[in-house]
Amino acid sequence: MNKGEWGKIKAFFDVKTEEGFVIKGFKLVQGINGLFVGNPSQKGNDNEYYDTIYAEKELKEELSQIAINHYGQEVMPIEEPFSNSPPPDDSFIKEGPTEPSNVESSETPTFTDDDIPF
């Protein structure tokens, strides 16, 4: 694995199978949800990049976990939208008066030409 900083790419690596095949050009990429493995790709005539290796989901997940572990980080845990964590500390909130104030909220301020600074 060749670690470094190339924008969002954190590492390049190759994979050698048990059968002796070497697949070159994998990338470890920092995405919005954490690190993931990008497959080797090649630039097409339309200047878009297309994967040259395809793998089943289970194999790709296993490869991602191995690469991330080798890189030195764990996969970010998937968090549930609502957790059992304690509520935030509201001690900084001061309680105000419980009775309504005498100020009418329906009144809109009136301005004259003297109020304009220019």
Residue type, 54: Y
The encoded tokens of residue 54 equal 């395809």
Q: Residue 75: which pLDDT band, with cuts at 50, 70 and 90?
A: very low
* pLDDT (average), residues 47-68: 90
Residue 47 backbone zone (phi > 0: left; psi -120 to 50: alpha; other: beta): left
The encoded tokens of residue 77 equal 């845990």
Q: What is the pTM of this model?
A: 0.56
Report helix, strand or coil for 65: helix
Task: Classify domain 2-71 at the CATH class level.
Answer: alpha beta
* pLDDT (average), residues 81-85: 47
Q: Parse the chain into domains and list their residue ranges.
A: 2-71
